[in-house]
Amino acid sequence: MSWSGGKDSALGLYHALRAPALRPAHLLTTLNEHYGRVAMHGVRAELLQAQARRIGLPLTEVWLPEMPSMEIYEQRMTAALDELAAGGVRTSLFGDLHLADLRQYREQQLARIGWQARFPIWHKPAAELLAEFFDLGFRAIVVCVSEQHLDQSFCGRELDRDFIRDLPATVDSCGENGEYHSFVYDAPYFSQPIAVQRGELLRRTYQSPAAATDDEPDPLGAAFWYCDLLPAGT
């Protein structure tokens, strides 16, 4: 299971665990080796590992540079998948919903090394998925928002019905376009919730790789707000 630790991968795993034809055996996550955090979500590696322990599945961590090229990303991901394939695993599950180009990329890259991709919640209506998420008792905190879509007040909030109601009309309610990312701290298949506390809010900007060596500001650069989550008591 491609595991980000957020809402969509958590729901994808829920459906995969209930599907007779699917038998999730591993979690796989990409992390930023410079910061020691989940790529894009900014969640500390120790919280990711706490999720894996509560789910009861082994976790494969793929460590990447802060701004990896596609070549480095594909090399390290292929190495991790080759190791899993040696143990008999050749299917990767994803929590993607609607982005057809991303699905096509995943399927093509996996087919190249003899794998297949499955998408347990593909094209499920957003309202249905969110209702399921809340009704089943999933609990999550919004840990990252794109400044292009949301202001910093949305970062660090509980992902609940109030959060969804407060989203601007232009924002996908499931955050499918990268508007926000979350950290699931309780789920129906967790052995127990993960106790966390909110730390500081941080703003980070990123350049597109093509502009990384330019002196001029990058017009395609993106800014994000992160809520630093810590294990409770630290």
Distances (CA, A) of 61 to 1, 46, 97: 12, 12, 23
pTM of the model: 0.91
**For position 222, what pLDDT does the model report?**
86
Assign domain 7-231 one CATH number from 3.40.50.620, 3.40.1260.10, 3.40.50.261, 2.30.42.10. Answer: 3.40.50.620
Name 88's Cβ contacts closer than 8 Å, sequence gap at least 6: none
DSSP SS3 for 116: strand
Question: CB count, 10 Å around CB of 45?
Answer: 18
**For position 221, what pLDDT does the model report?**
55
Residue 224's nearest CA partner among 207, 209, 208, 202 is: 202
Contacts 24+ apart (CB under 8 A), 172-177: 172/126, 173/126, 173/127, 173/130, 174/7, 174/8, 174/97, 174/126, 174/129, 174/130, 175/7, 176/97, 176/98, 176/99, 176/126, 177/99, 177/149
pLDDT in tens, 24-42: 999 999 999 999 999 989 9
Ranges of the chain whose pLDDT falls below 50: 210-220
